[in-house]
Amino acid sequence: MTITRRRLLVLLPAAAVAWKYVLAGTPEAAPNYTMAEHWWAMLIDLPECIGCGSCVRACQNENHVPDGYFRTWVERYHVDDYEMEYPQVDSPDGGKNGFPASNFTGGKNFFVPKLCNHCADSPCTQVCPVGATFVSPDGVVLVDQTYCLGCRYCVQACPYGCRFINPQTETANKCTLCYHRITKGLTTACCEACPTGTRRLANLKDSNDPIHEFLKTHSVQVLKPHLATGSKCFYAGLDGSVR
């Protein structure tokens, strides 16, 4: 068969489109997982938290987080009577080894675990100049480690202080909501290790997920709601003094 010039002109774009798909590979490496069926969130039932630091240790083990850096950490709040604007917060080594006895005797004292809020309208992904960080189609804020320049825009943009530059790779690093676990049907390392059930992973697109009942029956708040980041870290029993 001879290929006429006219025929070639028709075939070339079609071949180019096909080749693009061949090279692109499959983005969903995990079998039996469909991104469209998930919209991930985290529920944190604060009155259950005992500040044991199991979540922090589990996160560092699972994700090889360097010492002194945290993808999740626990803060201890002390609020004196009528001093809601001035809470005293400490978090020795991110709460990784628990908390020493408090210097305070009275007032209100409680723990607050923190992690990436996996915002639906995240400020951090909007400032990335190279498209290295993004909200995945299933609602997890991720960093493409091979694409990140380490420019630190996103570290400054996150209003929750959840990002850092990994000193080993010089790229932005943060909680992935254990994306490598949740796509395999497991829960996150922090939820797995939490002994009191304070932390619960939730799939908002699953109508059978217990989070829907919980959100209906409890007073729930997100951090810094005035920033309208679309945070998906839901805190039950959150005190107004928490920043």
Partner 1 sequence: MKDAGHLFRLAAVFLLGLVAFLVIRSLLVPRSFGRYGHYRANAIGEIAALPISYAGHQVCEGCHTDEADMKSKGVHKGVACESCHGPQAKHADDPGTAQPAKLDTTSLCPRCHQANIAKPKTFPQVDAPDHSGGAACNTCHQPHSPAIAAAGGVQ
Chain centroid to Cα 232, Å, comes to: 9
The residue to which tokens 């210097």 are assigned: 103
Compute the distance between CA of residue 79 and CA of residue 108 in angstroms, rounded to an integer. 5
Residue 173: CB minimum distance to partner 1, A: 12
3-state DSSP assignment of residue 17: helix
Residues that bind partner 1 (CB under 8 A): 20, 23-30, 33, 35, 47-54, 58, 61-62, 76-78, 97-99, 101-102, 104-105, 109-111, 131-137, 142, 144-147, 176, 179-181, 183-184, 186-187, 189, 192-197
- CB of 1 or CB of 101, closer to partner 1: 101
Residue 208: CB minimum distance to partner 1, A: 18
- CB of 225 or CB of 240, closer to partner 1: 240
Compute the distance between CA of residue 141 and CA of residue 159 in angstroms, rounded to an integer. 14
Residue 223: CB minimum distance to partner 1, A: 19
- CB of 54 or CB of 72, closer to partner 1: 54
Phi-psi region of 156 (alpha: psi -120 to 50; beta: other; left: phi over 0): alpha
Residue 241: CB minimum distance to partner 1, A: 13
Contact predicate 35/28, CB 8 Å: yes
- CB of 104 or CB of 150, closer to partner 1: 104
Residue 2: CB minimum distance to partner 1, A: 26
Amino acid (1-letter code) at residue 28: E
- CB of 53 or CB of 94, closer to partner 1: 53
| DSSP string of 158-179, one letter each residue | -TT---EEETTTTEEE----SH
